[in-house]
Amino acid sequence: MSQLKKSFIKDIYDAVAGSCFTMADFQFEFPDTGPTLLKIFFRYKPSFKFILNEKRENETDNNHELHAVLSATCEKKNGQAIAYLLEAPGEYKAADEQPICSLEDIPKKIPQWCSNIHKELTTEIDLQDDFDEFREELEELIREHIAEESVRFTPDEVANLSNKLDNLYKIFEELQKQNKLTRVELKDVKEHLKALLSSAKTYSKGLWARVANNRLLKIMIDVAKTEEEREVITESIKKMHK
């Protein structure tokens, strides 16, 4: 039998049901013994959890920082049980533990915790990290195909780069025609490529290649919305170094 009253458990269920998720999205545990009173796990990512623990004051003595917070936050009597709530994700941190002065606050906190889960699941991760391997490939291409990095491009080489940049731009034009790219995004791409061609006339080959890689990666991160689009653009970028 749960240590919590049936009416309180119903309040918890109601709070979850009234959130942006459903009851079926979570796993509930109500231990009948021990300091843990409640465990809720998001089924599809168990690291997202809501755990309520009950400890007595003499069990907090080794955690002076938390004990200080409790002393400032809650009114306690010697031996009175104190609740600690672990929320993952928290409002600002990946996991947040906080003192609970009254258990009646628990159901009120559940909708915010569910909202935090929703934000984590829907927030787009910066794709920069996903392109680390590709960045290394481009660096390898520079080492293989640019023998004299400190030498500047000849007029013929600049003309060749211009053709390659034009071909790359056509790919983005096609994406715009397919409504996969807005006109504003296409205009930004054009400005980036124009700047690359201009810098090729003054930068050394090695410097230009590295600046170009970073700029082209930024373009791809900003506008390539599918894996297929990224693959097409990736191959075009690689050809520029060959």
**Is 1 contained in some domain?**
no
Domain boundary at 84, 107, 122, which? 122
- Greater model confidence, 137 or 59: 137
Identify whether 86 is part of a domain: yes
**pLDDT value of residue 30:** 96
Q: What tens digit of pLDDT does each residue of 120-160 get? A: 887 755 545 556 666 676 667 666 666 677 888 899 989 98
On whether the CB atoms of residues 130 and 38 are closer than 8 A, the answer is no
Query: At a CB cut-off of 8 Å and minimum separation 6, what does 218 contact?
Result: 192
- Residue 96, domain extent: 6-122
User: DSSP class of residue 33?
Assistant: S
Q: Is the pLDDT of residue 13 over 70?
A: yes
Same domain, 91 and 139: no
The position carrying tokens 């309040």 is 11
* CA pair distance 16, 11, nearest whole angstrom: 9
Domain count, the chain: 2
Task: Mark whether 92 and 147 lie in a shared domain.
Answer: no
92 and 53 within one domain? yes
Listed residues 122, 145, 175: the one ending a domain: 122
Listed residue (2, 8, 4) closest to 107, CA to CA: 8
Select from 122, 139, 156 the last residue of a domain. Answer: 122
Residues 107 and 74 in one domain: yes
Confidence of residue 78 (pLDDT cuts 50, 70, 90): very low
Q: Which residue has the tokens 């006339």?
A: 201
The verdict on 108 and 36 lying in the same domain is yes
Does 227 lie in the same domain as 212? yes
Q: Is 196 helix (H, G, I), strand (E, B) or coil?
A: helix
Asked if pLDDT for residue 79 goes beyond 50, the answer is no
Separation CA 107–CA 98 (nearest Å): 15
The band of 83, judged by pLDDT with boundaries at 50, 70 and 90, is confident
- Residue at 140: amino acid letter: E
